[in-house]
Amino acid sequence: MEKVRWPVLAGLGLLLGATLPRQPAGSAGHTDLHPAPAAPWNIARIKAPQAWAITQGSPEIVVAVIDSGIDFSLPELAGVRWTNPREAPNGRDDDENGYVDDLYGWDFRDHVPAHRRRTPLHYHGTAVASVLAARARDLVGVAPQIRLMDLRFLDSRGLFYERDWRNLARAIDYAVQNGAHIINLSLVAMAPPPREVEEALARAGAQGVLVVAIAGNAGREGVNPLARYPFVLAVAATDRDDRPARFSNRGPEVDLSAPGAEIPALLPQGAVGTLSGTSFAAPHVSGTLALVLSANPGLSGPAAGEVLLRTCEAWPQERPGFGRGLVDAAAAVAAACNLPAPARPAKLENVTKTWDR
């Protein structure tokens, strides 16, 4: 029987260059990998340290990361791992959700519990998770006290194929059914998703779950198909100088922007480097939404999204295709609590030191 060759539909929303063996097929290009700076400029730029004066995030707020899997063996991420409170590792489906022993999420690539995966992880998901919620003195995420639900979708090369759409729909449904408040989709699709994925995204929106997706990395007009829906927040990327990142896609569907160029992130074996791509802009938005919901748990998902968009830092001049402005964590969290935005950064508690290893 002739082997079926499924079309590659894409995967990662990053630009990279590193000491890793090769650039994954389907990525949009590369840039140089540099040592991470001592202070995370991107976290400071969105004013997350000022927001921490109100909240550093709540362990009750869960962000589902549908990506290439998260390496929770790294101490910077170990403390933010979501645990399914209704499941035990006993070979039974205790919570009757259709997934046996899904104590820490599910691997939709290997079709096993997330902690029993069989194939190597691509580092993309771990890097995204670190921007969201890493706890380290020299590398810290936007919301380091929240919890991350690990839903692996991409293969070991950071790709997915036409046959995988159903697994993406299942991963979205899993996140909604198991208590995620936010879904981070740092994925690029080369073709419009089928109806079952659109319906899963719509179900998430109808349940008040916020879905954050990326504009894409082709540096052109036209947004990644996964980010074109009205019930998805589409994120473009900026650089250190608040300019549109040269690689970022743009379009009328983009809701807002966030830093996405030379973002400090965790890499394999706990190395720290910088990566670029709209993949790393999205977790700034997901993390800020998590801070907003942590500060005011009574807000619905749509209300939190409105707060986020209403408090964006406006562009100094018109910037078509890059949304309302730059995400502002301090202003968003303060608005969620009807407080003035804190002026001073707060110290971060419960961190590890990245460099002492």
Residues acting as catalytic residues: 67, 124, 279
Q: How far is CA 357 from CA 86, 106, 135, in A?
A: 35, 30, 15
Contact at 8 Å (CB) between 36 and 135? Answer: no
Distances (CA, A) of 174 to 2, 99, 156, 211: 34, 9, 21, 13
| Distance (Å, whole) CA 273 – CA 28 | 19
Which residues are within 8 A (CB) of 15 and not within 5 positions of it... i.e. 6 or more apart?
Answer: 27, 28, 29, 30, 31, 217, 247, 275, 276, 277
Handedness of CA 133, 145, 184, 288 (dihedral sign): negative
Interatomic CA distance for residues 266 and 123, integer angstroms: 8
In angstroms, the CA 109 to CA 337 distance is 40
Residue 304: what residue type?
A: A
**97: helix, strand or coil:** coil
Distance, in Å, from the CA atom of 101 to the CA atom of 65, rounded to the nearest integer, reads 19
